[in-house]
Amino acid sequence: MSELTYREMGLTDEEYQQILGVMGREPNYLEIGMFSVMWSEHCGYKNSRPLLKTFPTQGPQVIQGPGENAGVVDIGDGQALVFKIESHNHPSAIEPYQGAATGVGGIVRDIFTMGARPIASLNSLRFGPLDDARVRELLSGVVAGIGDYGNCLGIPTVGGEVYFNPSYQGNPLVNAMCVGLVKTDELALAVANEVGATIMIVGAKTGRDGIHGATFASEELSEKSASKRPSVQVGDPFMEKLLIEACLELIQQDLVAGMQDLGAAGLTSSIAETASKKGLGVEVDVLKVPRRETGMSPYEVMLSESQERMLIIPRSGAEARIEEIFEKWGLDAVVIGTVTGDGIFRVKEGETVVGEVPVQALTEGCPVYVRTGEEPEYYQRCRDYDLTGLPVIPPQEALQQLLASPNIASKKWIFSQYDYQVMTNTAILPGDGDAAVLRIKGTRKGVALVTDCNSRLVYLDPYQGAMQAVCEAARNLACVGARPLALTNCLNFGNPEKPNIYWQMQNAIAGMSVAAQALDTPVVSGNVSLYNETAAGAIYPTPVVGMAGVLADVDKRCDMAFKEPGDLIILLGGFRDELGGSEYLSVCHGLETGAVPTVNLTAEKSLQELILQLIHDDILQSCHDISEGGLAVALAESAIKGKIGCTVKINSEHSRVDGILFSEAPSRVIASVKRSRLDQLVQAVVEHEVEMRIIGHVGGDRLVIEDDGSEIIRMTVGDAARRWGEAIEWFMK
């Protein structure tokens, strides 16, 4: 391959001068390559590190926060959840199938690297409008890649989200989340803590795929991006399945002192990060690295991002046993180097030294940029937009349009391609509740998992929008009966060097931090994906929240479906006439503007505590968060899932009727309850000081909504189900 300049590797002139100062000489080609990948945004977080430090990361439930491959939270009984979300955006834009597949593979490795058995996968996806043929091609490829890789691994894909918006045209987002279960005394960390320890590479052989993948992920997409297809890794899920079993066997036999996934920047990153934590050095011989291609240079070996590979620091004398175990599983396990005490990352090719770089220069020495944000022009204009003169779309017509919007419609076309019941632990199936729920076999416990972010709200108001992403994730967990524990995030933004984009980042992270602190859901892991831009502009800021919660008794889980005729329908949180940033404005009026509804964190916390108590005490028949589409859509979804109608009464005397029906104001849910349990519900509501209204009852085969005695919506549940269920499938035929 032809040699690249340091600029083509993503380094600036100033950064190159810094490297000269560190090295005291001109670096060679390999050394420049090592700096370029380690100083990329993807590995070094050079534009985001100061902001990330503001997240709350501590709590009594936190065993391991940011800084390892994944976060770890205690769920009692000597067990812990290990989870993380990360992006594979740019690779998926160029090669959707392999980009998405290897995104799944990479996040799964982050989990079993910690000694945890992966138990579930989720995702968060963003695309341009579905009426575009290229978007449909991207969606098909991404979904197939996620499904095929996860299905082959035998890990259920149990939840996720997908949104369609023109801002993602040409720059889709593919965020993958994985959750694992581990005994707290079998937790493994990625650290080299002993001089003289050996370094082993295990798993698949190394090829030329993925070279400079970290750099590619840290630049804007352009017409030239298609030429970087070789930067996209190629995955082998069957190899990864073997790797999971082999690595977990090592941990169970206590043969491992440290373990690290070979992800972004390959051997360079994994070795440097492992050594850096204790201020140690390493010596590696590239000739010992098993290869699947001939003639590979040290540069190619050290920067390759070939998949299904791990770095292992064995316990003293365990090398032979590790080799035996990996031979049993049909995988390579080879000693390629040793840990040293001189703090130097030394790369050899046989007896020849081909590169020497201070470890700390690659990691802690990465430049950090504290930039100045600038409020974008659109912000005030959108916030001050006057909606009072907006014509009211007939409510039934508006609801029909919303149910058929791809952002609201059933995602069955997507999740039906995933095996979400493998392992037989899935207790709430995709689409049936506000979050996925899984049993933990051998206990009464369950775990609930969710991904959330309404990027339109974040665009219109980064602080409030990001705060709402955290609140909605936690509320969704509460709606299935799970107490939220902690969150992971994937921060997808445009070019941070632009002041308006940096302003979005600053405010979004601030909003997330405040909400996470208030709801006792610390940030334990995450990922940053910047430079998500094309010539047409930046994506909507999309700080995706992945959150995990625990149910003390999985049998007490709750879903969204209405159950029995005569059950009362309860609105918790009250009516709110606020349409800013709503799907209604976008779909029915072609507007993405307005003041975003604000969050009252005290009210949000009270609501969640109330819901958890009501579900624990077996008072609720169903519970469903009011989010995209507002109250009317939430009612329709509960009716569709229960295959039973409802009659609801509102009063818009002092409000816009479309505001009451379609507002997406936070901290609200609809629930159903047996009449015999109403008194208990009221007592709990009073204790938690939550606003409550009885708005209707379950029954019949129609969704009926009345306003001041007049019917404004009358729709059969079958008609609603058809519109909601077939929308995405219609586009994808």
Catalytic residues: 42, 88
> Can you tell me the distance from the alpha carbon of 230 to that of 212, in angstroms, rounded to the nearest whole number?
9
Specify the residue for token string 């107490």: 483
> Can you tell me the distance from the alpha carbon of 157 to that of 142, in angstroms, rounded to the nearest whole number?
14
> Can you tell me the distance from the alpha carbon of 518 to that of 610, in angstroms, rounded to the nearest whole number?
16
> Can you tell me the distance from the alpha carbon of 33 to that of 149, in angstroms, rounded to the nearest whole number?
30
CB–CB of 534/222 below 8 Å? yes
> Can you tell me the distance from the alpha carbon of 306 to that of 204, in angstroms, rounded to the nearest whole number?
8
Cβ atoms within 10 Å, residue 364: 12
> Can you tell me the distance from the alpha carbon of 399 to that of 559, in angstroms, rounded to the nearest whole number?
22
Instruction: Provide CB contacts within 8 A for 377, sequence distance 6+.
Output: none
Type of residue found at 182: V
> Can you tell me the distance from the alpha carbon of 62 to that of 367, in angstroms, rounded to the nearest whole number?
29
CB–CB of 147/157 below 8 Å? yes
* Token digits of residue 733: 């035929």
Instruction: Provide CB contacts within 8 A for 125, sequence distance 6+.
Output: 139, 142, 160, 161, 162, 163, 172, 173, 174, 175
DSSP assignment letter at 481: T
Distances (CA, A) of 696 to 415, 427, 521: 32, 29, 34
> Can you tell me the distance from the alpha carbon of 403 to that of 724, in angstroms, rounded to the nearest whole number?
5
Measured between alpha carbons, how far apart are the two ends of the chain, in Å?
Answer: 42
Distances (CA, A) of 125 to 327, 357, 524: 38, 38, 22
Q: H helices then E strands: how many in the chain?
A: 25, 28
CB–CB of 22/365 below 8 Å? yes
> Can you tell me the distance from the alpha carbon of 90 to that of 231, in angstroms, rounded to the nearest whole number?
10
DSSP assignment letter at 676: G
**DSSP H or E stretch at residue 335:** strand 332-340
> Can you tell me the distance from the alpha carbon of 585 to that of 708, in angstroms, rounded to the nearest whole number?
24
> Can you tell me the distance from the alpha carbon of 641 to that of 670, in angstroms, rounded to the nearest whole number?
14
Nearest to 310 by CA among 204, 234, 211, 238: 204
Q: How far is CA 30 from the centre of its chain?
A: 33
Kindly tell me the sign of the dihedral angle through the C-alpha atoms of 649, 655, 659, 663: negative
Nearest to 511 by CA among 556, 460, 563: 460
* Token digits of residue 76: 């009692």
DSSP assignment letter at 431: T
Q: What is the CA radius of gyration of the chain?
A: 26
**DSSP H or E stretch at residue 174:** strand 173-183
Type of residue found at 665: A
* Token digits of residue 174: 């593919």
- Largest Cα–Cα distance of the chain, in whole Å? 88
> Can you tell me the distance from the alpha carbon of 418 to that of 595, in angstroms, rounded to the nearest whole number?
38
DSSP assignment letter at 66: B
Residue ranges of alpha helices (H) inside 329-438 are 359-362, 377-383, 395-403, 412-415
